[in-house]
Structure 1
Amino acid sequence: MSFTEYIAPFVEFPVLQQRVLHVLEQLPEDVQTDFLSDERFQVELDNYVPGVGWSFLMPAPGIGGNGSRCVILRSKLADLPEAFAHYVIAHEFAHAFLRNGGWGDITDIEEAADALAASWGFERPARA
């Protein structure tokens, strides 16, 4: 599967680009297929400017009001410990896969994203 489109925004941050690619490649095939087949799924670099805000083009809501599945990642993920960065990236992809909803019996969206990311092999590292 080709994830070129999803890692392109990180060309100026090669460490982050490799980390995003690593996580994408480790996701289950059904998740990869879901992302690749949905034009509303995208991955972007955070471009926040203090006093100005953000600027992103997001696809309009789909049928049934399903909104964009845009994952925004900060460049500082390149500077964090690798395991933690992988966890954060997987956690954000989990939100996109779950469409910011629950997972199974887990209704809290943050707990759901953590649990799904862990099921993919990206558990939140213990604090040092």
Structure 2
Amino acid sequence: MTTSTSDEFATYLHPFRQLPNLQKRVLFVLKALPPDVQQDFLGDHRFRVELDNYEPGKGWTLFMPTPGPDGGGSRCVVLKPKLDAASEAFAQYVIAHEFAHAFLRNGGWGEITDVEEAADALAATWGFCRPVA
């Protein structure tokens, strides 16, 4: 299986067109994912990547189905605009961590049942470890 191209990921990059640094970071992480993960995302219409549009006092205008225990519902990754200005390592880690949640369908991974630990562990196998503070 071949690695996916930028064109294949265009739909996932569009929400970040006003944040070119974040857009590049999302693309970098997507291209670094194993081919089976890329194909899982590309082949599932429920997977999408969106920009968090929270406004204090107003809330969000992002609508999506909640994830279900059977993997049903949304596989939407929502990223905050502040990742555009965050350190490279931190931003890439957060993006990979959120992609790991989507890949795991917000569940565990192997023997790891805690969903946050599972996402961290999977992201680390992709080369995106939590940066040391």
TM-score after normalising by structure 1: 0.93
Query: How many percent of aligned residue pairs carry the same amino acid?
Result: 67
Cα pair 2:71 2:105 within 8 Å, conserved = no
Unaligned runs of 5+ in 1: none
Q: Which moved more, 1:28-37 or 1:52-61?
A: 52-61
Alignment root-mean-square deviation, CA: 1.6
Runs of 4+ residues over 3 Å off in structure 1: 59-62
Cα pair 1:40 1:58 within 8 Å, conserved = no
Query: Relative to 1, partners in 2 of residues 1:61 and 1:71: Cα closer, same or farther, differing over 3 Å?
Result: closer
Query: Relative to 1, partners in 2 of residues 1:104 and 1:61: Cα closer, same or farther, differing over 3 Å?
Result: closer
Whole-Å separation in 2 of the counterparts to 1:65 and 1:37: 14
TM-score after normalising by structure 2: 0.90
Whole-Å separation in 2 of the counterparts to 1:53 and 1:66: 25
The Cα of 1:51 is off from its aligned counterpart by: 1.6
Residue correspondences, number:
126
The Cα of 1:121 is off from its aligned counterpart by: 0.4
Cα pair 2:67 2:106 within 8 Å, conserved = no
Q: How does 1:81-96 map to 2 (within 5 A)?
A: 81-96=87-102
Unaligned runs of 5+ in 2: none
Whole-Å separation in 2 of the counterparts to 1:65 and 1:81: 32
